[in-house]
Amino acid sequence: MKKKRMSYARGRITGFGQKIGLKMKLTLLLLLVGFLNLMASESYSQMAKLTITLKDATVEQVLSDIEDKSDFNFVYNRDAIDLKRKVDVNYTDTKIDAILDDLFKHTNVTYRFIDRTVVLSTVLEPEFMLQSKTVSGKVTDSSGTPLPGVSVVVKGTTNGIITDADGNYTLTKVPLDATLVFSFVGMKSQEILVENQTSINIIMKEDTQAVDEIIVIGYGTTKRKDFTGSASSVKLENSPVALATNMNALETLKGNVSGLDIGYTNTAGGTPSMQIRGQNSISGSNDPLVVVDGTIFLGDINDINPNDIASVDVLKDATSAAAYGSRSANGVIMITTKKGKKGKPVIHFNITGSGQTWHLKPKLMNGEQWLDAVATANGYPDYSFLTSQEELNHQAGKEVHWLDEISRIGLIQDYQAAISGAGEKMNYYLSTAYTDNQGVIKGDDFDRISVLGKISTDITSWLQIGLDAAYTRLDYSGVSANIIAATILSPYGMMHRPNGLLEATPDGTRGHGNPLWGIDDKSKRENIDYQDNLRANAYALVKLPWVPGLSYRFNYAGNLNYRKAGDFTHESDYVPNGDYDDDSRYSAETQNSYLSSANGNITNERTKSYVVDNILNYNQNFGKHTIDLTAVATRDCKKYEYQNLSGSDFAANGNTTLGLNGLHYASTQKISLDNWKLTNAGYFGRASYSFDNKYYLTASYRRDGASVFGANKKWGNFGAIGAAWRITNESFMKKPEFLNDLKLKLSWGKNGNQGLSQYSTLSKVSNGQSGGIYYTFDNSGKPSYGIDQSSIGNSDLGWETTRAWNTGFESVWLNNRLFVDADIYFSKTDNQIFLRTIPVMIGFSSMYSSMGEVRNKGFEATVRNINIQNKEWKWSTGLTFWLNRNKLIHLYGEDLDGDGKEDDDIGNGLFIGESIHSIYGYKQDGIVQTSDTKYMESNGVSAGTPKYADKTGEGVIDADDRSILGSTDPNFKLNLSNTVQYRDFELYVMIAGVFGGNGYFQKSNKNAYITCGDRSQFASNGLYIPYWTESNPSNKYPAATFTGDSYFLGLQSRGYMRLQDITLSYTFNQPWVKNTGINKFRLFITGKNLATITNWKGGDPESGSTALDGTYPIMTSISLGLNISF
């Protein structure tokens, strides 16, 4: 057989041809067509017109020139086609088929189009006519090292093989029209049309976040290479990132996207906060807008099963977010869910089991330390404050570690099954999942059932329709342990009564409750909290047949959420304070006396929302010019209805046997209702233009109206413009070996934020029973209800407007091994809405108000390097870095003190030229020592109290000594991830760091300095404090008797570094796996939040919790799981 060489290896067709396989590009094109139906690619071959003038050129040069000037790629057999033939060509605005007809006029070469790929073949090639054949070849990585273990499969069949130790393969019975799929962990899968080839050598490429991916933008998609804005993408499907135990879709993004801050999750089923590029809004939500499969998502992020997510694109700058106008100043998170892939249906199972522990559990004082601390702090000469039962335990040396008692090893079980597939006309994805989470704190339970079905089908060549439907049930029911009680209680408290049952008040007559009281005990407390969510998205895509490239899309997304929550406290929940061995406290008689205190309430919440989009798109290529036009009219509406039914006092009824379902037997019954509606309407237009794969321009405009604003401020206009320049495509940039690609970009845009919740511009009134104001005249036994204005409205409140510049570059270096992206942005937000402290003489202490101008500037960089890549090993390192600086520029524009500078607003802690998160107060300068006599005398303080810096030098500490002490903003964030692959093993490690320094990232942590904490409870436990004494003076910790003063802050840095994720997986590629019909079989073990380095004391630096504030803990998780698909 004649040996044939294919031209793929040199298939430099566009600027990106080198980085990805030709067929990959094809696949992406197909994806575009199949997924998004916005690109009228079939028409490209009919529409594209080329201008080519070459003299005495070879056929090969002509083909190459066409490739350079268009999106066409040629696929051909070098040996069959005479490439060296010299020709003269001179075409002006000529269609491709005319050129090709002319070029091969007197040869046996024929051509056909597969999208933008032109397959050239000769009639002499006999293999072309055969039904099947044998194909062999060698697979190497980009360094030329043979790759063993690569799977080579005839697409849509089970016919496949694995490359041998030298990377060679031979596959028989390959149909002529077959496509071979080459796949390997960590590499991009490649699909190659077999056509007339019998030998196919493949260079596998890194599966990096390369520049040639498709990204989802507002009301459409684009190729990353054409994109002028700043966006980060995270592919979750088949990524090690997705293996980590994340209960929530957002958690998977944590640390993977520069500029995106994902908060912590500390409860079972909790939702973390999210923020892009710093805080834009002071009082409004800083949450980015979430868009799922192209439509604004108005539901709860917890309703999205993380396993159903294929990829996430984070739109960070103004141009990318501009499509969403009034709601995009905080950025946009675009979630794309999985869908079927062409070929045989895939059945996928994912099973994970995890254990969780309390990360950074505070170490509270032991018995001895507690005794000393309480006595010293409260001026007791002895331990006479011990209650009788504490005294018993003290004598017996029995201590209870309450934090240990309320916590447990948390457990997560996660099961998912999905079936997906696609045919020529139809695509489907069905998934169901069940998650059960028992949190680290006893009683903190959550489970979720979700079902998702997606189907799309081409009805005709011009009409495609799709429907997704999802149902989720969340269950948060149950009473959790009381963390605050556990931190307050004395180590000598009594857990159980003599009969072995739980004691209600472990510290006896001091009366603090047992933190475990009522947990899993429905005779005392009932708690339910269910949410049912049903959502359906439907779309129709019409490719208007009379204008190629023009399409219309209609989206409807409906969301219905129903929540029922209830809580019931039975009479047996109440126990009088007293000694633990006094059984009368628990007698039936005592319990019945509490019937009048028994109470419960049921909340019904119904949220109904819809989004309607009408999208008109026109996309066309004209030679080197590509135009994409989009017009959108959209509306959305969210309606909320709340009902609360409460009942108390069951004395007349006689028992509470029916519990929550017997509220209507209560003597006092109340109803409270709250309804609201939020509406938005928007009109949007966008034009994108690119020329010759070098120059890209995008401009957009949106007019948006929102119900939340004052009557005259409802509408806003937003716009953006962006440009990019692929400098490496310029002929003058003779591509240097070390630089593979470089794109420069610049954008400007104006976006809005709805910094208000509904009805905030109104002066609301509290009245009637639900208003809570009542007085009882005349001992009538009946309340008279009062009317009180509860807020002062401001009808001038409108959009918060953010104008932002973004500039940056995306680049690929060193033979596609080093990827460097960087962005710098400058944004200014006008008319920030915030809750302003106002002179209380008005009758209100605060009101929503807008203020001048806040600027954010920042720098973001993502660096990824492939350190090692050879036959067996692969190691890559990624680094994300971001910092944001916030500065207040203008406030109210007043200079009343006449110093020529705009005035600060000290009352609201806002200072011109400083961060809006500045910490203002008295600078602490150690502790007053016995030798500081002058300081003590002039300030009337005693030794052992905090000492403050005397800024004015007057000797007396007063309001003039206040200064800006720092900021609560982080200095910068740095995340480091490493992925190491060895044969079938893959290890992923992510270290996340948030850094302070220079005054950044500080927070008050009084509980780390004051003995027994903030002293709101007598004899409270707390962190052990090596407090100041005369004989053992400290310059850090005040005396035990110090209870705080209005100056003391106890600032501490929250900076930390955390080993956030470790994932180790093993993929079984042994023959028996294939033989049993398993497509993929992978076992993995993951760890989350395994270790933290920080100086923050008593809590978690990420949540900023302190020892006594009762914040739920962040958890360390270890998971074991398996993926299997058929």
Where in 570-629 is the site for other proteins (CB under 8 A)? 571, 574, 576-578, 582, 584, 590-591, 593-597, 612, 614, 616
Residue 333 CB, nearest distance to other proteins (Å)?
Answer: 25
User: Integer distance in angstroms from the first to the last C-alpha of the chain?
Assistant: 36
The CA-based angle 744-747-753, given to 5 degrees, is: 145
The residue range among 196-204, 704-712, 733-741, 963-971 that interacts with other proteins, by the rule CB under 8 A, is 704-712
Residue 97 CB, nearest distance to other proteins (Å)?
Answer: 36
Among 9, 123, 409, 787, binds other proteins (CB under 8 A): 787
For residues 632 and 615, the answer to whether their CB atoms sit within 8 Å is yes
Packing angle of the helix pair 96-103, 59-69 (nearest 10 deg): 170
Q: Is the dihedral of CA 1062, 1068, 1069, 1074 positive or negative?
A: negative
Q: How far apart are CA 425 and CA 1062, in angstroms?
A: 41
For residues 195 and 209, the answer to whether their CB atoms sit within 8 Å is no
What residues between 1042 and 1071 interact with other proteins by CB under 8 A?
Answer: 1043-1047
Neighbouring C-alpha atoms within 13 Å toward the C-beta of 168: 4
Residue 948 CB, nearest distance to other proteins (Å)?
Answer: 11
Residue 569 CB, nearest distance to other proteins (Å)?
Answer: 13
SS3 of 337, please? strand
Q: How far apart are CA 71 and CA 232, in angstroms?
A: 25
Among 1015, 1080, 1082, 1097, binds other proteins (CB under 8 A): 1015
Among 126, 898, 940, 953, binds other proteins (CB under 8 A): 940
For residues 698 and 688, the answer to whether their CB atoms sit within 8 Å is yes
Among 1014, 1068, 1085, 1125, binds other proteins (CB under 8 A): 1014
The CA-based angle 631-321-259, given to 5 degrees, is: 165
Q: What dihedral angle (degrees, nearest 10) is formed by the CA atoms of 741, 333, 535, 679?
A: -130
930 binding other proteins? (CB under 8 A): no
Tokens of 880: 């994300």
The residue range among 74-82, 192-200, 738-746, 788-796 that interacts with other proteins, by the rule CB under 8 A, is 788-796
How many CB atoms are closer than 10 A to CB 373? 23
The residue range among 278-286, 341-349, 489-497, 845-853 that interacts with other proteins, by the rule CB under 8 A, is 845-853
Q: How far apart are CA 198 and CA 133, in angstroms?
A: 7
Residue 957 CB, nearest distance to other proteins (Å)?
Answer: 8
Cα 151–chain centre separation: 33
Tokens of 537: 């998205």
What residues between 202 and 231 interact with other proteins by CB under 8 A?
Answer: none
Q: Which residues contact 101 (CB under 8 A, 6 or more apart)?
A: none
Q: Which is nearer to other proteins, 380 or 415 (CB)?
A: 380
The residue range among 43-51, 193-201, 303-311, 938-946 that interacts with other proteins, by the rule CB under 8 A, is 938-946
865 binding other proteins? (CB under 8 A): no
What residues between 878 and 897 interact with other proteins by CB under 8 A?
Answer: 892, 894, 896
554 binding other proteins? (CB under 8 A): yes
How many CB atoms are closer than 10 A to CB 232? 23
Among 786, 893, 997, 1026, binds other proteins (CB under 8 A): 786
The residue range among 243-251, 291-299, 878-886, 1010-1018 that interacts with other proteins, by the rule CB under 8 A, is 1010-1018
For residues 540 and 463, the answer to whether their CB atoms sit within 8 Å is yes
Of 200, 1061, 41, 107, nearest in space to 628 by CA: 41
What residues between 671 and 700 interact with other proteins by CB under 8 A?
Answer: 673-677, 679-681
712 binding other proteins? (CB under 8 A): no
Residue 717 CB, nearest distance to other proteins (Å)?
Answer: 14
For residues 375 and 365, the answer to whether their CB atoms sit within 8 Å is no
What residues between 504 and 523 interact with other proteins by CB under 8 A?
Answer: 508-509, 511
Of 721, 719, 742, 727, nearest in space to 695 by CA: 727
Phi-psi region of 38 (alpha: psi -120 to 50; beta: other; left: phi over 0): alpha
706 binding other proteins? (CB under 8 A): yes
The CA-based angle 632-636-642, given to 5 degrees, is: 175
Q: How far apart are CA 984 and CA 184, in angstroms?
A: 10
What amino acid is encoded at 606 in this protein?
R
Q: Is the dihedral of CA 120, 342, 309, 866 positive or negative?
A: negative
What residues between 753 and 782 interact with other proteins by CB under 8 A?
Answer: 758-759, 761-765, 767, 769, 772-782
Among 459, 652, 842, 1078, binds other proteins (CB under 8 A): 842
1077 binding other proteins? (CB under 8 A): no
The residue range among 13-21, 232-240, 991-999, 1037-1045 that interacts with other proteins, by the rule CB under 8 A, is 1037-1045
H or E stretch covering 769 = helix 768-771
Total of chain residues touching other proteins, rule CB under 8 A: 118
What residues between 381 and 420 interact with other proteins by CB under 8 A?
Answer: 381, 384-385, 387-388
Residue 892 CB, nearest distance to other proteins (Å)?
Answer: 8
The residue range among 290-298, 379-387, 622-630, 1000-1008 that interacts with other proteins, by the rule CB under 8 A, is 379-387
Q: How far apart are CA 33 and CA 37, in angstroms?
A: 5
Q: Which is nearer to other proteins, 247 or 1040 (CB)?
A: 1040
Each residue 958-997 as x (binds other proteins by CB under 8 A) or -, in order, gives: xx--------------------------------------
Of 655, 795, 831, 802, nearest in space to 719 by CA: 802
Q: Which is nearer to other proteins, 758 or 877 (CB)?
A: 758
Among 159, 457, 837, 1034, binds other proteins (CB under 8 A): 837
Q: How far apart are CA 648 and CA 668, in angstroms?
A: 5
The residue range among 633-641, 827-835, 999-1007, 1056-1064 that interacts with other proteins, by the rule CB under 8 A, is 633-641
Q: Which is nearer to other proteins, 78 or 764 (CB)?
A: 764
Residue 155 CB, nearest distance to other proteins (Å)?
Answer: 39
Among 648, 867, 963, 1029, binds other proteins (CB under 8 A): 648
